[in-house]
Structure 1
Amino acid sequence: MSLYQFMTPIKRKKPADENQDPLQSSKKAKPGDSVSKRKQACAYRHEWAQGRETWLYYRQDEGMYCKLCQKYNKRPFDRDTWNKTPCRRLRLGSVKEHEQSAGHLDALKLELLSTTSHNIAEVIQPEVGHDAIVSAFKCLYFLAKRRIPHVANFEPLLDLLTQLGLTVKDDLHVAKNATYCSDHSVREMLHFLSSTMEDDTIQRVQKSDFFSIMLDETTDVSVEEQLTLNCRFLDESGQLSVKFLKIIQPLNLKSNDEPNHLPTVSLNAETIARHVTSYFAEYGLNFDNLVGIGTDGAAVMTGNTMVS
């Protein structure tokens, strides 16, 4: 073997250009291959995006793009492919090659860091002391019990307590973005209050041998029809007790027994009967223990549909 063979440069294969059309490649097709089969082989397959939905997408008649490389302006292999220009080499190998490129991995790390920081800011909030939460619920219960507008007066009531030397509001302000005095927080606390009180009343009614209900139609500030439901029952000591149960909004409800049932147009006898029956079924109230129904005497309340 001569020294000349070692000095002769070795011809290496050039890396495949991702934008090179496979049909125009210098590789000759086999004699038995048809043009349609070769075109089908280089077509984009939607299953390639399974597990890669966060970054891979395909544009018809253009090629494949990477959302993350576009978002963080990464140029894998120092080329604009996958970012500003599409990858026209429609092969699963091209997808995997880009997936392992340094530029794409950097973009993936930035996306994970951004998502993690966002989730931590939303989910992980500083804890509020138990005493502060109890005091906040007592203030809200005070407003609701006296029919004082709670959303507008909750924080002013806390300000009054601060002037009296109590630190309820300061204890609720555990962070800049966690004050627990916003309208959203007040509505959530009111929902918990009403659910707890309703569950307690339902349990007492279920233990009673006899009970009756009182129905009345009313409207809210937007003149939307509502149905108020109250009950009378004998408690554990045998004393007569009257409790508010719920405000039913038939116009916003659908029947559980009829998934395709459209929202009610008006409060008629059939509507009232259906929603009261649905409420009894939801909370396990026995119609056999129902001994009376109290209404305002309107025809819609005393028709045969209601008592049948």
Structure 2
Amino acid sequence: MDKYLIRKPRTQDSSPVQDSSSSSKRVRVDFNLENLPSYPGLREKISSYHPNNHDEIRRYYLTKDPCQPVDDYPVSYFSEKPRRFRSEWYVNRNWLEYSINKDVAFCFYCYLFGQDVGKQGGGETFLVKLDSYVGGVNSAHNQAVKKSEDLLKEKQHIQSVLVKQSNQDKIEYRVELNAIVDCIRFLLCQELAFCDHDESQGSSDKGNFLELLQFLGDHNESINEVLQKFWKNCKLTHHDIQKDIVNAIARETSKAIIKDLDNGFFSILVDESRDISVKEQMTLVLRYVNKKGIIIERFLGIVHVASTIALSLKYAIECLLCEHNLNLSKLHGQGYDRASNMQGNINGLKTLNLKENKSAFYVHCFAHQLQLTIIAVAKNHINIAEFFYVVSNLVTIVGGSYKRRDALRDAQFAKIKEDLENGVCRSGQGLYQETNLKRLGDTLSSFCTILDIPILNMDEIFVFSGRPRRNTQQNTNLHYYCVELFYTVIDMQLQKLNNCFSEANTDLLLCMACLNPSNSFVAFDKEKLIRLAKFYPSDFFGTDILALDSQLQNYIFDMRNNDLFLELQGVSELAEKLDNTRKHETYLLVYLLVMLALTLPVATATVERSFSEMKYIKNELRNRMGDQWMNDCLVVYIEKDVACSIDIETIMQRFQNMTTRRR
């Protein structure tokens, strides 16, 4: 080209000439598929991205469901008449989307393939009725729908047309992909690493994934033939392919969880903790009652939060819920610890959610309550604090040195062996374990007798250690240990526990206790159950309260005269039995109360287990794992029972639709 063109020399002070049209060029937006917003009101226009990335971004949104949140939509006034969006408009309109923050409806397909008009593709609002928006066969909307369908049909892609394959090649490709998906799902459910290894053909450290795939091929001739055939040009073993498959499994797992929820109300259990790379991670767990009356707690996801203030956590929760088409209007319970950013009465996460939804009651985690109560008692009661201080020192002295541990272990082993030989003690399964503690009744008398320690007589006068106190009332040993020690500690515990509950929460829990079916529904109280219904005004309207009154009367008579309900031990068993006997259809309002009581969280054990499992997924050897990669692995690993139940064809189809594949 140089002999046809004369290059203009450039000096150091010369700057490139910009024509007048350069200023009118659009600024291209950098993107990351993991960070693309789900809210339609927050999305950038498709034209703002580089043209080479348009199809990839469109395909990403097409693999996700349209944003259709169900909420108490705000009211707007047109011509002095109130108007609001309705959730029933979603029916038979899979193209309709709604933005909560903007109170605006969008067309999903016109955003992806519509003309570049306004702030969103296809315009920002509907200027016509929904029924007439679709238009005729050749309307702009239907053309956008057709383009979306064509994008997901890979056989119509230019890349696929250029690659001519026989039916046999496609069958072999599916056999290979099926085997790879099976291997990855197995490794994820067993929490076995399959990345960060030398996966080259001649490597001796290929990692679990390639080793398992090779093992599968060695024991299946058809799979082995396919692996050998495609080993050079279509291995499907690259790290990016592995991450895409894991993402497909995770998305289908989350989709199955949301389907099981079936647009019902739920509670959230939230906590934050740092991972191995010192990044603050927030875990969110859903608690709900499924259609069979069974309490379910499912891990929804883990989100990296740069700030742990309440507003940041609330925004992260809303984004995660919106990604799965869930909304805070269905939130009927919150479970956190006692951190100020969580349960603060002014700007805590609990308070922010309660301002939007009055039914999102907060119950402090019972496990944390008990732990904090014991700690408070140990610090405030002198005798209890002294006891724990001595025990702590003893554990520190013995456990701080491996020599002392071994010496104690050997001495105890020799003593037990001698006692067994002399017939002093008996052998048996589970006896004399190092980490087990005997009950008080098993140690007190025998221990004192063997070591010649005088056994305390509870009827004698209690003697204080040290110098005798003046004018001290003399009491028996029984009075001291029972009244001055035991009753005092119990009273301190009760006071501490009562401080953890607000008056409203206490009344709420007392009303819920009336649903307990134990001892032939002895705790039943109709007035308290009606008061319980008034705690949820969005679920029980004025006429429902009147209907509940008469329904409760029939319900308790039926329950106490039905042998199937006499041996129940808890509200969870009651819900399952009502569903199995189809009594929940007869007593709809009572069953609604039961579901609300079960939905309210009482412990955050599932969240704590999620953080424990995070340490297995992201450990010191895999401390550079990305947020999306870690989230996908955790979803599949924690909810392995759901992940294993998903049809492999569904996973393969989602994987194929993620991006343009050769087959």
TM-score, reference length from structure 1:
0.51
User: For the structure 1 residues 232 and 224, does the alpha-carbon distance in structure 2 shift closer, same or farther, using more than 3 Å as the test?
Assistant: same
Is there any run of 5+ residues in structure 2 with no aligned partner, and where?
9-157, 196-206, 353-663
Q: Does 1:148 align with 2:71?
A: no
Match of 1:229 among 281, 284, 287: 284
Residues 187 and 194 in structure 2, CA contact (< 8 A), matched pair in contact too: yes
Aligned to 1:177: 233
Q: Size of the alignment, in residue pairs?
A: 183
User: For the structure 1 residues 297 and 196, does the alpha-carbon distance in structure 2 shift closer, same or farther, using more than 3 Å as the test?
Assistant: same
Residues 136 and 168 in structure 1, CA contact (< 8 A), matched pair in contact too: no
User: For the structure 1 residues 294 and 167, does the alpha-carbon distance in structure 2 shift closer, same or farther, using more than 3 Å as the test?
Assistant: farther
Residues 158 and 169 in structure 1, CA contact (< 8 A), matched pair in contact too: no
* 2-structure distance, mates of 1:203, 1:182: 32
Query: What do residues 239-270 of structure 1 show as CA deviations (whole Å, max 9, x unaligned)?
Result: 222211111123xxxxxxxxxxxxx4x22222
* 2-structure distance, mates of 1:149, 1:206: 34
Write the mapping of 1:19-58 to structure 2, written as runs, cut at 5 A.
Answer: none
Q: Does 1:298 align with 2:353?
A: no
Q: Does 1:192 align with 2:248?
A: yes
Deviation at 1:287, TM superposition (A): 2.2
Residues 267 and 334 in structure 2, CA contact (< 8 A), matched pair in contact too: yes
Deviation at 1:129, TM superposition (A): 3.1
Greater alpha carbon shift after TM alignment, 148-157 vs 180-189: 148-157
Deviation at 1:175, TM superposition (A): 5.4
Deviation at 1:189, TM superposition (A): 0.5
3-state SS of 2:268 partner: strand
Write the mapping of 1:58-207 to structure 2, written as runs, cut at 5 A.
Answer: 69=1, 80-82=3-5, 85-86=6-7, 124=163, 127=170, 129-151=173-195, 152-165=207-220, 167-168=222-223, 171-172=226-227, 174=230, 176-207=232-263
* 1-structure distance, mates of 2:303, 2:293: 29
User: For the structure 1 residues 150 and 230, does the alpha-carbon distance in structure 2 shift closer, same or farther, using more than 3 Å as the test?
Assistant: farther
Q: Percent of aligned pairs with the same residue?
A: 24
* 1-structure distance, mates of 2:329, 2:7: 71
Residues 286 and 299 in structure 2, CA contact (< 8 A), matched pair in contact too: yes
The AA in structure 2 aligned to 1:241 is I
Match of 2:270 among 211, 215, 218: 215
* 1-structure distance, mates of 2:224, 2:340: 50
* 1-structure distance, mates of 2:333, 2:224: 46
User: For the structure 1 residues 165 and 130, does the alpha-carbon distance in structure 2 shift closer, same or farther, using more than 3 Å as the test?
Assistant: closer
The AA in structure 1 aligned to 2:318 is T
RMSD of aligned residue pairs (Cα, Å): 3.1
Aligned to 1:59: none
Query: What do residues 260-282 of structure 1 show as CA deviations (whole Å, max 9, x unaligned)?
Result: xxxx4x22222111111222234
Deviation at 1:180, TM superposition (A): 0.6
3-state SS of 1:180 partner: coil
Aligned to 2:17: none
Query: What do residues 94-116 of structure 1 show as CA deviations (whole Å, max 9, x unaligned)?
Result: xxxxxxxxxxxxxxxxxxxxxxx
Write the mapping of 1:268-287 to structure 2, written as runs, cut at 5 A.
Answer: 268-287=309-328
3-state SS of 1:150 partner: coil
Deviation at 1:187, TM superposition (A): 0.8
The AA in structure 2 aligned to 1:295 is Y
* 2-structure distance, mates of 1:166, 1:232: 45
3-state SS of 1:207 partner: coil
Residues 295 and 301 in structure 1, CA contact (< 8 A), matched pair in contact too: yes
* 2-structure distance, mates of 1:140, 1:163: 17
* 2-structure distance, mates of 1:176, 1:135: 17
Is there any run of 5+ residues in structure 1 with no aligned partner, and where?
1-68, 71-79, 88-118, 251-263
Higher relative contact order, chain-length normalized (CA < 8 Å, sep 6+): 2
The AA in structure 2 aligned to 1:143 is L
Deviation at 1:167, TM superposition (A): 4.9
* 1-structure distance, mates of 2:324, 2:312: 19
* 1-structure distance, mates of 2:219, 2:185: 19
The AA in structure 1 aligned to 2:333 is G
Residues 212 and 233 in structure 1, CA contact (< 8 A), matched pair in contact too: yes
Residues 161 and 167 in structure 1, CA contact (< 8 A), matched pair in contact too: no
* 1-structure distance, mates of 2:269, 2:224: 39
User: For the structure 1 residues 138 and 273, does the alpha-carbon distance in structure 2 shift closer, same or farther, using more than 3 Å as the test?
Assistant: same
The AA in structure 2 aligned to 1:243 is R
More helix by share: 2
TM-score, reference length from structure 2:
0.25
* 2-structure distance, mates of 1:267, 1:135: 42
User: For the structure 1 residues 129 and 294, does the alpha-carbon distance in structure 2 shift closer, same or farther, using more than 3 Å as the test?
Assistant: same
* 2-structure distance, mates of 1:167, 1:249: 43
Deviation at 1:206, TM superposition (A): 4.0
The AA in structure 2 aligned to 1:211 is F
Greater alpha carbon shift after TM alignment, 276-285 vs 195-204: 276-285
Query: What do residues 51-85 of structure 1 show as CA deviations (whole Å, max 9, x unaligned)?
Result: xxxxxxxxxxxxxxxxxx35xxxxxxxxx232xx4
* 1-structure distance, mates of 2:294, 2:286: 14
Write the mapping of 1:224-263 to structure 2, written as runs, cut at 5 A.
Answer: 224-250=279-305
Deviation at 1:201, TM superposition (A): 1.4
Residues 211 and 290 in structure 1, CA contact (< 8 A), matched pair in contact too: yes
* 2-structure distance, mates of 1:271, 1:219: 16
Deviation at 1:234, TM superposition (A): 1.6
User: For the structure 1 residues 131 and 175, does the alpha-carbon distance in structure 2 shift closer, same or farther, using more than 3 Å as the test?
Assistant: closer
User: For the structure 1 residues 281 and 184, does the alpha-carbon distance in structure 2 shift closer, same or farther, using more than 3 Å as the test?
Assistant: closer
Query: What do residues 151-188 of structure 1 show as CA deviations (whole Å, max 9, x unaligned)?
Result: 24211211222333455465356252320112121111
* 2-structure distance, mates of 1:170, 1:235: 45
Match of 1:267 among 308, 328, 353: 308
User: For the structure 1 residues 292 and 160, does the alpha-carbon distance in structure 2 shift closer, same or farther, using more than 3 Å as the test?
Assistant: same
User: For the structure 1 residues 169 and 163, does the alpha-carbon distance in structure 2 shift closer, same or farther, using more than 3 Å as the test?
Assistant: closer
Residues 217 and 226 in structure 1, CA contact (< 8 A), matched pair in contact too: yes
Residues 267 and 331 in structure 2, CA contact (< 8 A), matched pair in contact too: yes
